[in-house]
Amino acid sequence: MKQFANRLKKLRESKKETNPTFTQSHVAEILGVARTTYTAYENGTKQPPMETVIKIASLFETSVDYLYGLTETKNNSVPNAEPTDDEKEMMEFFNNPRLNLFFKEMADSPEEQLEELQEFWEIIKKRGLNKK
pLDDT in tens, 55-76: 999 999 898 989 998 888 777 5
pLDDT of residue 85: 76
pTM of the shown model: 0.56
pLDDT score at 74: 78
Boundary (domain end) residue, out of 67, 93, 108: 67
Q: What percent of the chain has pLDDT over 70?
A: 81
Instruction: Identify which has the larger pLDDT, 88 or 7.
Output: 7
| Predicted local confidence at residue 36, as pLDDT | 95
- What is the spatial distance between Cα 89 and Cα 33, in angstroms, rounded to a whole number? 41
Residues 6+ apart with CB under 8 A from 16: 22, 23
The whole domain housing 13 covers 2-67
Does 63 share its domain with 97? no
CATH code of 32's domain: 1.10.260.40
What is the signed CA dihedral for 54, 60, 64, 65, rounded to 10 degrees?
170
- Dihedral angle at the C-alpha atoms of 41, 69, 81, 33, nearest 10 degrees? -10
